[in-house]
Amino acid sequence: MTQRKQFEEIVERFVELKDTSELMINLAYSALLLNNRDLAEEVQKLEEHVDRLHTDFELLALSSDFKKEEARGFLGLIRLGVAAEKIADAAAEMAEVVLRGIEPHPVLRLTIREAEETVMHAEVTGASPLANKTLKEAQIPEKTGMRVLAIRRGGKCIRPKPESKIEAGDTLIASGYSEGEGDLRRMAAPP
């Protein structure tokens, strides 16, 4: 394998590690705000996933053939991974507050986001206008007032980016005011 290819693979793992840890922070804050156990459990599951990802990433980085003078550059990479893992840990600890049944203090609502009342899961069917659109094209916040927190695809949880494509069979995890819930549900699975 060329060095470039090896690097591409390592970077790909790292991007997933970074994205997942940041997704976890968002989900953890929402879990706290809504006192939602499902979301908090999702964060815990992601934490286990991050642990596996991190190990894979480190093994991949350490097993690639690099020259002595490249050691610093590899150390930098390894440290980036460690930091991403630390971020994921912090998110998991936040979610733990919910799982321990500590009632959310009203201050949290003031702090986090006022526009969140509810969290929902909606499966996207093949007939949905959302299928095969990117999040940017789908305009979910504009049309329903709901904010997509994560996209669940198979066993994976994807951090939503404007260019992320929605596929039939995906489950959207979204939050917002309760009025938007029905709208998004109808959009995801038209009757």
Partner 1 sequence: MSHFEKIKYKLIPVSELLLEMKNLSELMIDLAYSAALFNDRDLAEDVIELEKRVDNLAYQLEMTIMVAARDPKDAEALTGISKVASDADKISDAAADIAAIVMQNIGVHPIVSEIFEKVEERLVKAKVAAASELVGKRLCELDLASQMGMDIIAIRRDKDWIIDIKEGEQIREGDTLIARGTSTGIKEFKELVEGVQLKAEE
Q: Which residues of the chain form contacts with partner 1 (CB under 8 A)? A: 3-4, 7-8, 10-11, 14-15, 18, 22, 25, 28-29, 32, 70, 72-77, 79-80, 82-84, 86-87, 89-91, 93-94, 96-97, 102-105, 107-108, 110-112
Q: Which residues of 156-177 are buried (b: 16+ CB within 10 A; e: fewer)?
A: ebbbbeeebebeeebbbbbbbe
Nearer to partner 1, 37 or 186 (CB): 37
Residue whose CB is less far from partner 1, 101 or 191: 101
CB of 42 to partner 1, least distance (A): 17
Residue whose entry in the numeric block shows the structure tokens 């916040």? 141
Minimum gap (Å) between residue 15 Cβ and partner 1: 6
136 vs 186, beta carbon nearer partner 1: 136
> In the chain, how long is the greatest CA-to-CA distance?
62
Cα 67 versus chain centre, distance = 35
Fill in the DSSP letter of residue 68. Answer: G
